[in-house]
């Protein structure tokens, strides 16, 4: 094999990952290439917009980038989830006056200033006096006075103009509908078939929602596809630990949380979700409205910069761009700005202290004890890289949970594992041939560290793996080696 052109390999120089949403402003292969070069580590395919043909073209373009830059890229398919909406109005809209009464009923006739149809029979009978109904992203706030099987009689705490098919949020009750609609099921099958690495599930309210999605993914042959639970409903917060347990990753969907909760409740809740995910060793993404003003402006507000910086200081695995990269006028600049903010934060001399302020005690297993030891050794001895050999990625997750100051080089024979790891804090994944002996492991670990810029002659490296090789969950070996430089004489991987 010809010697690789190392100038094309560009380790990001930061540990937090950037997830960029694809949309009309960024779907072309050229723009996707520019976003990747600007700093995107993973791409979100929003199944709420566009059709399967558009998504398939974007996925093909991303896989072409992988080959061009020799770097695994994660693709996250974000399912839309059920959408609750009111019916229609005479003339297309109505006005609900402040403090006035307003009724939602099952009559399909067009609505007026006093009533409208709510075409979701499952909501009737579950609503109780004192609960809220939020319409049009919370711009209209109704308080339930009476409710039965046919109508929900409310008082308008905040009125305003209401128009056809505006969305409805029900923050105070568990809505008895599944998280997966028929559209979601079709989109999930498409995502698995086209090689998505992560699937994000919307409208999660209970652990059973994740279990159902897992069964469906497996049924479509996507056993290796990772599942991400979007925490966007208060009901999910109440069952957070169980949902995390059944998920491979978590997304803090702050936009929807901010509709169903008071604005001041969201920041502490964000930290709670990030901390709970980190303790569990599951990657956590902070999403929505991070650089919102960059949809129209090339420069973010100072508040937005601080918002991104705080997520990085909290130790989130990834930060996400939504409309900024999908439909905004400055998609490339948005990614570059997020990259710049993250690098600046991570260069702060107090950054590591703040990230490690959260204690993540290891479980009582050999694998966790060794992962914890990697951080301890790297804090004590000058180490250029923690090199992890893994088939499933679980060892990489254990090491990343410790938030070591040293970069984590993940070597795996599985391209699927390498792509999933692209959303994991502090990691750089490389696909390489499997190993069969201790000597081969050490030699390959040294060679890959040198080849990918994680050390030089004289640097020390931690190698973490499991014996017997190729057995998932058998991490039981930690070795500290010194790079000599001669390892680069062998070029095949």
User: pLDDT (tens digit, 9 = 90+) per residue, 192-235?
Assistant: 999 999 999 999 999 999 999 999 999 999 999 999 999 999 99
Active-site residue (options: 21, 88, 103, 288): 288
* CATH code of residue 446: 3.40.1380.20
Give the end of a domain, one of 293, 319, 350. 350
Residue 218 domain-assigned? yes
Tens digits of per-residue pLDDT, 341-360?
999 999 999 999 999 999 88
Q: For residue 475, what are the contacts with CB-CB under 8 A and spacing of at least 6?
A: 366, 367, 370, 371, 394, 395, 398, 464, 465, 466
The per-residue pLDDT for 487 is 64
The per-residue pLDDT for 436 is 84
Asked whether the predicted pLDDT for residue 17 surpasses 90, the reply is: yes
- Looking at the DSSP bridge assignments, the partners of residue 227 are 199
Would you place residue 39 in the very low, low, confident or very high pLDDT band (cuts 50, 70, 90)?
Answer: very high
Mean pLDDT of 42-55: 97
Shared domain for 268 and 381, answered yes or no, is no
Residue 164 domain-assigned? yes
Would you place residue 5 in the very low, low, confident or very high pLDDT band (cuts 50, 70, 90)?
Answer: very low
The per-residue pLDDT for 6 is 35
Q: For residue 293, what are the contacts with CB-CB under 8 A and spacing of at least 6?
A: 299, 300, 301, 304
Residue 2 domain-assigned? no
Is 230 catalytic? The answer is yes
Mean pLDDT of 74-96: 97
* CATH code of residue 224: 3.20.20.60
The per-residue pLDDT for 493 is 54
Q: Quote the CA–CA distance of 13 and 234 in Å, as a whole number.
A: 36
Shared domain for 165 and 193, answered yes or no, is no
Asked whether the predicted pLDDT for residue 373 surpasses 60, the reply is: yes
Shared domain for 157 and 299, answered yes or no, is no
Residue 467 domain-assigned? yes
Residue 373 domain-assigned? yes
Shared domain for 191 and 248, answered yes or no, is yes
Kindly report the average pLDDT of the chain as a whole number. Answer: 93
* CATH code of residue 155: 2.40.33.10
Is 288 catalytic? The answer is yes
Residue 415 domain-assigned? yes
Asked whether the predicted pLDDT for residue 489 surpasses 70, the reply is: no
Shared domain for 40 and 119, answered yes or no, is no
Asked whether the predicted pLDDT for residue 7 surpasses 70, the reply is: no
The per-residue pLDDT for 467 is 77
Shared domain for 52 and 141, answered yes or no, is no
Shared domain for 323 and 253, answered yes or no, is yes
Would you place residue 297 in the very low, low, confident or very high pLDDT band (cuts 50, 70, 90)?
Answer: very high
Domain that holds residue 444: 366-489
Residue 138 domain-assigned? yes
Please state, for a pLDDT cut of 90, what percent of the chain lies above it. Answer: 88
Is 412 catalytic? The answer is no
Give the end of a domain, one of 169, 204, 223. 169
Asked whether the predicted pLDDT for residue 10 surpasses 60, the reply is: no
The per-residue pLDDT for 490 is 57
Please state, for a pLDDT cut of 70, what percent of the chain lies above it. Answer: 96
pTM across the whole model: 0.94
Asked whether the predicted pLDDT for residue 81 surpasses 80, the reply is: yes
The per-residue pLDDT for 4 is 33
Shared domain for 46 and 192, answered yes or no, is yes
Shared domain for 406 and 484, answered yes or no, is yes
Shared domain for 146 and 191, answered yes or no, is no
Residue 436 domain-assigned? yes
Asked whether the predicted pLDDT for residue 405 surpasses 90, the reply is: yes
Give the end of a domain, one of 169, 191, 208. 169
Active-site residue (options: 15, 44, 206, 398): 44
Shared domain for 193 and 77, answered yes or no, is yes
Would you place residue 361 in the very low, low, confident or very high pLDDT band (cuts 50, 70, 90)?
Answer: confident
Q: For residue 196, what are the contacts with CB-CB under 8 A and spacing of at least 6?
A: 45, 59, 75, 76, 77, 225
Active-site residue (options: 12, 33, 34, 85): 85
Is 395 catalytic? The answer is no
Active-site residue (options: 230, 278, 398, 401): 230
Would you place residue 488 in the very low, low, confident or very high pLDDT band (cuts 50, 70, 90)?
Answer: low
- Looking at the DSSP bridge assignments, the partners of residue 287 are 253
Least confident of 71-80, 235-244, 447-456: 447-456
Mean pLDDT of 430-446: 91
Shared domain for 396 and 474, answered yes or no, is yes
The per-residue pLDDT for 491 is 53
Please tell me the total count of domains within the chain: 3
Tens digits of per-residue pLDDT, 94-120?
999 999 999 999 999 999 999 999 999
- Looking at the DSSP bridge assignments, the partners of residue 142 are 133, 156
């Amino acid at each position: 094999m010809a010697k690789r052109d190392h100038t094309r390999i560009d380790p990001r120089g930061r540990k937090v990952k950037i997830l960029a949403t694809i949309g009309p402003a960024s779907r072309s292969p050229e723009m996707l290439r520019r976003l990747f070069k600007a700093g995107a580590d993973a791409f979100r395919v929003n199944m709420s917009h566009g059709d399967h043909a558009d998504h398939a073209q974007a996925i093909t373009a991303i896989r072409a980038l992988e080959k061009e830059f020799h770097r695994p890229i994660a693709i996250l398919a974000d399912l839309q989830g059920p959408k609750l909406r009111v019916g229609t109005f005479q003339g297309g809209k109505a006005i609900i006056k402040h403090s006035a009464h307003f009724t939602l009923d099952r009559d399909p006739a067009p609505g007026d200033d006093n009533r409208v149809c709510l075409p979701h029979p499952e909501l009737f009978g579950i609503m109780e006096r004192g609960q809220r109904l939020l319409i049009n992203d919370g711009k209209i706030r109704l308080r339930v006075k009476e409710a039965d099987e046919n109508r929900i009689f409310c008082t308008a705490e905040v009125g305003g103009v209401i128009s056809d098919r505006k969305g409805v949020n029900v923050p105070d009750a568990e809505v008895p509908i599944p998280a997966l609609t028929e559209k979601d099921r079709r989109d999930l099958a498409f995502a698995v078939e086209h090689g998505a690495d992560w699937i994000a599930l919307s409208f999660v309210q209970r652990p059973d929602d994740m279990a159902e999605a897992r069964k469906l993914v497996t049924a479509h042959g996507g056993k290796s596809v990772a599942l991400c639970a979007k925490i966007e409903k208060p009901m999910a917060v109440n069952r957070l630990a169980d949902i995390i347990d059944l998920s491979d990753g978590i997304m803090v969907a702050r936009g929807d949380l901010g509709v169903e909760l008071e604005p001041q409740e969201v920041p502490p809740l964000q930290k709670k979700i990030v901390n709970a995910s980190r303790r569990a060793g599951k990657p956590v993404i902070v999403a929505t409205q991070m650089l919102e003003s960059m949809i129209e402006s090339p420069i973010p507000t100072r508040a937005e910069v601080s918002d991104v910086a705080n997520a990085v200081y909290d130790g989130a695995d990834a930060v996400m761009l939504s409309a900024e990269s999908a439909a905004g006028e400055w998609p490339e600049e948005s990614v570059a700005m997020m990259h710049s903010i993250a690098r600046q934060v991570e260069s702060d001399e107090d950054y590591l202290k703040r990230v490690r302020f959260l204690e993540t005690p290891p479980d009582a297993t050999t694998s966790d004890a060794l992962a914890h030891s990697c951080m301890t050794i790297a804090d004590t001895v000058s180490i250029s890289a923690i090199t992890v050999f893994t088939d499933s990625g679980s060892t990489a997750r254990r090491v990343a949970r410790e938030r070591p100051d040293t970069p984590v080089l993940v070597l795996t024979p599985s391209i699927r594992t390498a792509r999933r790891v692209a959303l994991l804090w502090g990691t750089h994944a490389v696909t390489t041939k499997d190993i069969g002996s201790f000597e081969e492991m050490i030699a390959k670990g040294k060679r890959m560290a040198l080849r990918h810029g994680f050390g030089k002659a004289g640097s020390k490296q931690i190698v973490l793996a499991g014996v017997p090789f190729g057995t998932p969950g058998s991490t039981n070996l930690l070795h500290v080696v010194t790079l000599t430089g001669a390892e680069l004489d062998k070029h095949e991987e």
